[in-house]
Amino acid sequence: MRSSKRITVLFAAVVILAMAGSVLVVRRLDGARLRAEEDRALYLSDPKLLKRLSLGYSGLMADIYWTRAVQYFGSRHKEGARDYPLLYPLLDVTTQLDPHLVVAYQFGGVFLAQHPPDGAGQPDKAAEFVERGIRANPDAWRLYFNLGYIHYIERKDYVAARDAFERGSRVPGAHPALKLLAAASAQQAGTPEAARLLWSSVYESTEDQSVKANAARHLIALRVDEEVPQLEALVQRFRDNTGRMPSNFHEMVAAGWLRELPRDPTGLPYVLRDDGRVEVQSPEGLPYITKGLPPGYQSGPVGIKLQK
Protein backbone atom coordinates (compact mmCIF):
# COMPACT_ATOMS: atom_id res chain seq x y z
CA MET A 1 0.00 0.00 0.00
CA ARG A 2 2.74 2.34 1.00
CA SER A 3 4.75 1.48 -2.07
CA SER A 4 1.73 2.06 -4.31
CA LYS A 5 1.24 5.48 -2.77
CA ARG A 6 4.88 6.27 -3.33
CA ILE A 7 4.58 5.30 -7.00
CA THR A 8 1.49 7.49 -7.37
CA VAL A 9 3.25 10.50 -5.89
CA LEU A 10 6.40 9.85 -7.89
CA PHE A 11 4.68 9.47 -11.26
CA ALA A 12 2.26 12.34 -10.60
CA ALA A 13 5.30 14.52 -9.98
CA VAL A 14 6.86 13.25 -13.22
CA VAL A 15 3.66 14.12 -15.14
CA ILE A 16 3.52 17.65 -13.70
CA LEU A 17 7.22 18.42 -14.05
CA ALA A 18 7.52 16.92 -17.54
CA MET A 19 4.45 18.80 -18.78
CA ALA A 20 5.72 22.06 -17.30
CA GLY A 21 9.11 21.40 -18.90
CA SER A 22 7.50 20.66 -22.25
CA VAL A 23 5.65 24.00 -22.15
CA LEU A 24 8.93 25.82 -21.52
CA VAL A 25 10.63 23.91 -24.33
CA VAL A 26 7.81 24.71 -26.78
CA ARG A 27 8.31 28.38 -26.05
CA ARG A 28 12.01 28.04 -26.85
CA LEU A 29 11.21 25.93 -29.92
CA ASP A 30 9.09 28.70 -31.36
CA GLY A 31 12.20 30.85 -31.24
CA ALA A 32 14.42 28.20 -32.81
CA ARG A 33 12.04 27.49 -35.66
CA LEU A 34 13.48 27.37 -39.09
CA ARG A 35 13.41 30.91 -40.38
CA ALA A 36 14.91 29.72 -43.63
CA GLU A 37 12.15 27.21 -44.10
CA GLU A 38 9.55 29.88 -43.43
CA ASP A 39 11.02 32.30 -45.88
CA ARG A 40 11.73 30.16 -48.82
CA ALA A 41 9.37 27.24 -48.76
CA LEU A 42 5.66 27.22 -48.38
CA TYR A 43 4.65 23.63 -47.71
CA LEU A 44 1.85 23.76 -50.24
CA SER A 45 1.60 26.76 -52.45
CA ASP A 46 -0.85 25.44 -55.01
CA PRO A 47 -4.33 26.60 -53.90
CA LYS A 48 -6.09 24.10 -56.18
CA LEU A 49 -4.23 21.18 -54.63
CA LEU A 50 -4.85 22.59 -51.16
CA LYS A 51 -8.55 22.91 -51.89
CA ARG A 52 -8.72 19.25 -52.83
CA LEU A 53 -6.67 18.21 -49.82
CA SER A 54 -8.93 20.17 -47.45
CA LEU A 55 -11.75 17.72 -48.31
CA GLY A 56 -14.32 20.46 -48.67
CA TYR A 57 -13.28 22.32 -45.55
CA SER A 58 -11.52 25.01 -47.55
CA GLY A 59 -13.04 27.74 -45.36
CA LEU A 60 -11.22 26.43 -42.31
CA MET A 61 -8.04 26.01 -44.33
CA ALA A 62 -8.37 29.62 -45.52
CA ASP A 63 -8.73 30.78 -41.91
CA ILE A 64 -5.53 28.91 -41.02
CA TYR A 65 -3.65 30.43 -43.95
CA TRP A 66 -4.98 33.92 -43.13
CA THR A 67 -3.75 33.52 -39.55
CA ARG A 68 -0.40 32.40 -40.93
CA ALA A 69 -0.26 35.47 -43.17
CA VAL A 70 -1.01 37.76 -40.21
CA GLN A 71 1.55 36.02 -38.01
CA TYR A 72 4.13 36.11 -40.79
CA PHE A 73 3.56 39.80 -41.45
CA GLY A 74 3.50 40.63 -37.74
CA SER A 75 6.71 38.79 -36.91
CA ARG A 76 8.61 40.17 -39.93
CA HIS A 77 7.35 43.66 -39.15
CA LYS A 78 8.47 43.35 -35.56
CA GLU A 79 11.95 42.39 -36.74
CA GLY A 80 12.03 45.50 -38.93
CA ALA A 81 12.30 43.38 -42.08
CA ARG A 82 12.26 45.21 -45.39
CA ASP A 83 11.04 42.32 -47.52
CA TYR A 84 8.12 39.96 -47.16
CA PRO A 85 8.66 37.26 -49.78
CA LEU A 86 5.97 34.92 -48.48
CA LEU A 87 3.25 37.51 -47.90
CA TYR A 88 1.72 37.46 -51.35
CA PRO A 89 1.80 33.64 -51.73
CA LEU A 90 0.10 33.30 -48.32
CA LEU A 91 -2.57 35.87 -49.22
CA ASP A 92 -3.05 34.26 -52.61
CA VAL A 93 -3.58 30.81 -51.11
CA THR A 94 -5.93 32.25 -48.45
CA THR A 95 -8.18 34.05 -50.89
CA GLN A 96 -8.22 31.27 -53.44
CA LEU A 97 -9.36 28.90 -50.73
CA ASP A 98 -12.03 31.34 -49.59
CA PRO A 99 -12.63 34.14 -52.11
CA HIS A 100 -15.20 35.69 -49.77
CA LEU A 101 -12.79 36.34 -46.92
CA VAL A 102 -13.05 40.12 -47.34
CA VAL A 103 -10.81 40.84 -44.37
CA ALA A 104 -7.89 39.13 -46.11
CA TYR A 105 -8.16 41.41 -49.16
CA GLN A 106 -8.75 44.42 -46.94
CA PHE A 107 -5.76 44.14 -44.64
CA GLY A 108 -3.66 41.97 -46.96
CA GLY A 109 -3.88 44.68 -49.59
CA VAL A 110 -2.65 47.32 -47.14
CA PHE A 111 0.17 45.08 -45.86
CA LEU A 112 1.28 44.44 -49.43
CA ALA A 113 1.04 48.05 -50.56
CA GLN A 114 2.71 50.03 -47.79
CA HIS A 115 6.35 50.96 -48.11
CA PRO A 116 8.87 48.88 -46.16
CA PRO A 117 9.19 48.41 -43.25
CA ASP A 118 5.47 49.07 -42.85
CA GLY A 119 4.63 46.71 -45.68
CA ALA A 120 5.93 44.72 -48.60
CA GLY A 121 6.16 47.75 -50.91
CA GLN A 122 4.26 46.05 -53.73
CA PRO A 123 1.46 48.55 -54.47
CA ASP A 124 0.78 47.29 -58.02
CA LYS A 125 0.36 43.74 -56.81
CA ALA A 126 -1.76 45.00 -53.93
CA ALA A 127 -4.09 46.90 -56.27
CA GLU A 128 -4.45 43.81 -58.45
CA PHE A 129 -5.12 41.68 -55.37
CA VAL A 130 -7.83 43.98 -54.00
CA GLU A 131 -9.37 44.27 -57.48
CA ARG A 132 -9.65 40.48 -57.48
CA GLY A 133 -11.36 40.73 -54.08
CA ILE A 134 -13.85 43.22 -55.53
CA ARG A 135 -14.66 40.85 -58.39
CA ALA A 136 -15.47 38.12 -55.85
CA ASN A 137 -17.24 40.49 -53.44
CA PRO A 138 -18.74 43.36 -55.44
CA ASP A 139 -20.89 44.47 -52.49
CA ALA A 140 -18.03 45.00 -50.03
CA TRP A 141 -17.60 48.80 -50.06
CA ARG A 142 -14.53 48.60 -47.84
CA LEU A 143 -12.60 46.94 -50.66
CA TYR A 144 -13.26 49.90 -52.99
CA PHE A 145 -12.09 52.16 -50.20
CA ASN A 146 -8.91 50.09 -49.83
CA LEU A 147 -8.33 50.08 -53.55
CA GLY A 148 -8.76 53.85 -53.70
CA TYR A 149 -6.39 54.24 -50.77
CA ILE A 150 -3.72 52.09 -52.46
CA HIS A 151 -4.05 54.02 -55.75
CA TYR A 152 -4.03 57.40 -54.01
CA ILE A 153 -1.37 57.01 -51.34
CA GLU A 154 0.92 54.27 -52.54
CA ARG A 155 0.61 54.52 -56.34
CA LYS A 156 -0.20 58.25 -56.60
CA ASP A 157 -2.61 57.35 -59.39
CA TYR A 158 -5.36 59.84 -58.58
CA VAL A 159 -7.54 58.95 -61.57
CA ALA A 160 -7.62 55.28 -60.59
CA ALA A 161 -8.24 56.34 -56.97
CA ARG A 162 -11.22 58.49 -57.94
CA ASP A 163 -12.59 55.65 -60.05
CA ALA A 164 -12.31 53.21 -57.12
CA PHE A 165 -13.95 55.61 -54.64
CA GLU A 166 -16.71 56.36 -57.12
CA ARG A 167 -17.46 52.71 -57.78
CA GLY A 168 -17.49 52.12 -54.02
CA SER A 169 -19.85 55.02 -53.35
CA ARG A 170 -22.44 53.37 -55.59
CA VAL A 171 -22.50 50.20 -53.43
CA PRO A 172 -25.63 50.11 -51.24
CA GLY A 173 -24.75 50.91 -47.63
CA ALA A 174 -21.34 52.36 -48.49
CA HIS A 175 -19.73 54.84 -46.12
CA PRO A 176 -20.69 58.43 -47.11
CA ALA A 177 -17.00 59.42 -47.04
CA LEU A 178 -16.44 57.50 -50.29
CA LYS A 179 -18.36 60.14 -52.24
CA LEU A 180 -16.30 62.92 -50.66
CA LEU A 181 -13.10 61.02 -51.33
CA ALA A 182 -14.04 60.57 -54.99
CA ALA A 183 -14.63 64.31 -55.26
CA ALA A 184 -11.42 65.15 -53.39
CA SER A 185 -9.37 62.81 -55.61
CA ALA A 186 -10.80 64.55 -58.67
CA GLN A 187 -10.49 68.18 -57.59
CA GLN A 188 -7.75 68.30 -54.98
CA ALA A 189 -5.55 65.39 -56.00
CA GLY A 190 -2.27 65.52 -54.14
CA THR A 191 -3.31 68.32 -51.78
CA PRO A 192 -3.15 68.11 -47.98
CA GLU A 193 -6.95 68.53 -47.81
CA ALA A 194 -7.56 65.41 -49.87
CA ALA A 195 -4.93 63.50 -47.88
CA ARG A 196 -6.52 64.63 -44.62
CA LEU A 197 -9.93 63.46 -45.74
CA LEU A 198 -8.51 60.09 -46.77
CA TRP A 199 -6.60 59.50 -43.55
CA SER A 200 -9.55 60.64 -41.41
CA SER A 201 -11.73 58.12 -43.25
CA VAL A 202 -9.16 55.39 -42.69
CA TYR A 203 -8.98 56.34 -39.01
CA GLU A 204 -12.74 56.28 -38.53
CA SER A 205 -13.59 53.24 -40.61
CA THR A 206 -11.06 50.75 -39.27
CA GLU A 207 -11.18 48.71 -36.10
CA ASP A 208 -7.66 47.45 -36.42
CA GLN A 209 -5.45 49.24 -33.94
CA SER A 210 -2.27 49.19 -36.04
CA VAL A 211 -4.07 50.65 -39.09
CA LYS A 212 -5.73 53.25 -36.84
CA ALA A 213 -2.38 54.22 -35.31
CA ASN A 214 -0.83 54.53 -38.76
CA ALA A 215 -3.67 56.82 -39.90
CA ALA A 216 -3.26 58.90 -36.73
CA ARG A 217 0.48 59.29 -37.44
CA HIS A 218 -0.30 60.50 -40.96
CA LEU A 219 -2.90 62.97 -39.68
CA ILE A 220 -0.38 64.33 -37.17
CA ALA A 221 2.23 64.63 -39.92
CA LEU A 222 -0.25 66.56 -42.06
CA ARG A 223 -0.78 68.97 -39.17
CA VAL A 224 2.97 69.56 -38.82
CA ASP A 225 3.30 70.00 -42.60
CA GLU A 226 0.64 72.67 -42.38
CA GLU A 227 1.90 74.46 -39.26
CA VAL A 228 5.58 74.73 -40.20
CA PRO A 229 5.05 76.85 -43.36
CA GLN A 230 2.53 79.00 -41.48
CA LEU A 231 5.08 79.67 -38.73
CA GLU A 232 7.83 80.35 -41.28
CA ALA A 233 5.58 82.88 -43.04
CA LEU A 234 4.90 84.55 -39.71
CA VAL A 235 8.63 84.77 -38.98
CA GLN A 236 9.15 86.33 -42.41
CA ARG A 237 6.44 88.92 -41.69
CA PHE A 238 8.11 89.72 -38.34
CA ARG A 239 11.38 90.28 -40.18
CA ASP A 240 9.73 92.45 -42.82
CA ASN A 241 8.10 94.54 -40.11
CA THR A 242 10.98 94.87 -37.68
CA GLY A 243 13.89 94.59 -40.08
CA ARG A 244 15.52 91.78 -38.12
CA MET A 245 15.05 88.06 -37.45
CA PRO A 246 13.48 87.04 -34.13
CA SER A 247 16.00 85.16 -32.01
CA ASN A 248 13.38 82.65 -30.84
CA PHE A 249 9.63 82.11 -30.49
CA HIS A 250 9.64 83.54 -26.92
CA GLU A 251 10.52 86.88 -28.43
CA MET A 252 7.57 86.66 -30.84
CA VAL A 253 5.22 85.72 -27.98
CA ALA A 254 6.49 88.70 -25.92
CA ALA A 255 5.99 91.02 -28.88
CA GLY A 256 2.42 89.78 -29.30
CA TRP A 257 2.98 88.02 -32.64
CA LEU A 258 2.05 84.69 -31.08
CA ARG A 259 -0.41 83.98 -28.27
CA GLU A 260 1.72 81.19 -26.87
CA LEU A 261 4.82 79.14 -27.63
CA PRO A 262 4.01 77.02 -30.72
CA ARG A 263 4.22 73.30 -30.09
CA ASP A 264 4.16 70.28 -32.40
CA PRO A 265 1.49 67.54 -31.91
CA THR A 266 3.82 65.62 -29.57
CA GLY A 267 3.86 68.66 -27.23
CA LEU A 268 7.44 69.76 -27.90
CA PRO A 269 7.99 73.43 -28.85
CA TYR A 270 8.96 74.13 -32.47
CA VAL A 271 12.53 75.38 -32.88
CA LEU A 272 13.37 78.57 -34.80
CA ARG A 273 16.71 78.47 -36.66
CA ASP A 274 18.86 81.52 -37.37
CA ASP A 275 17.96 81.53 -41.05
CA GLY A 276 14.23 81.64 -40.26
CA ARG A 277 13.56 77.93 -40.80
CA VAL A 278 11.24 76.20 -38.35
CA GLU A 279 12.13 72.68 -37.22
CA VAL A 280 10.59 70.05 -35.01
CA GLN A 281 12.68 69.08 -32.01
CA SER A 282 12.36 65.33 -32.37
CA PRO A 283 11.65 64.13 -35.92
CA GLU A 284 11.85 60.49 -34.72
CA GLY A 285 8.53 60.97 -32.94
CA LEU A 286 6.86 62.35 -36.06
CA PRO A 287 7.18 59.86 -38.90
CA TYR A 288 5.85 60.88 -42.33
CA ILE A 289 6.38 64.64 -41.84
CA THR A 290 7.87 66.40 -44.85
CA LYS A 291 8.28 69.90 -43.37
CA GLY A 292 10.22 71.04 -40.32
CA LEU A 293 12.90 68.36 -40.70
CA PRO A 294 16.54 69.07 -39.83
CA PRO A 295 18.74 69.23 -42.97
CA GLY A 296 19.71 65.75 -44.15
CA TYR A 297 16.95 63.99 -42.28
CA GLN A 298 14.81 61.77 -44.45
CA SER A 299 11.22 61.34 -43.35
CA GLY A 300 9.59 57.95 -43.30
CA PRO A 301 8.09 55.38 -40.98
CA VAL A 302 11.47 55.07 -39.29
CA GLY A 303 13.43 58.30 -39.55
CA ILE A 304 16.82 57.87 -41.14
CA LYS A 305 19.50 60.36 -40.35
CA LEU A 306 21.65 60.63 -43.45
CA GLN A 307 24.10 63.20 -42.19
CA LYS A 308 24.67 65.38 -39.24
Q: How far is the CB of 173 from other proteins (least distance, A)?
A: 28
Please, which residue, 41 or 268, has the CB nearer to other proteins?
A: 41
Please, which residue, 30 or 275, has the CB nearer to other proteins?
A: 30
Q: How far is the CB of 65 from other proteins (least distance, A)?
A: 9
Please, which residue, 37 or 124, has the CB nearer to other proteins?
A: 37
Please, which residue, 41 or 254, has the CB nearer to other proteins?
A: 41
Q: How far is the CB of 32 from other proteins (least distance, A)?
A: 4
Q: How far is the CB of 83 from other proteins (least distance, A)?
A: 18
Please, which residue, 69 or 289, has the CB nearer to other proteins?
A: 69
Q: How far is the CB of 199 from other proteins (least distance, A)?
A: 26
- Alpha-carbon distance of 69 to 226, in angstroms, equals 37
Q: How far is the CB of 162 from other proteins (least distance, A)?
A: 36
> Which residues sit at the interface with other proteins, rule CB under 8 A?
4, 7-8, 11-12, 14-15, 18-19, 21-23, 25-26, 28-30, 32-34, 36-37, 40-41, 43, 64, 67-68, 70-71
Please, which residue, 17 or 233, has the CB nearer to other proteins?
A: 17
